[in-house]
Amino acid sequence: MHIRGPSFYNLQSMEALVPGTFVADAVAIISSIDPIMGEVDR
For residue 18, pLDDT over 80 is answered with yes
For residue 11, pLDDT over 80 is answered with no
pTM, 2 dp? 0.53
pLDDT at 38: 66
Instruction: Say how far residue 17 (Cα) sits from the centre of its chain.
Output: 10
If we measure between CA atoms, which residue out of 10, 5, 27, 9 comes closest to residue 18? 27
More confident residue, 33 or 42: 33
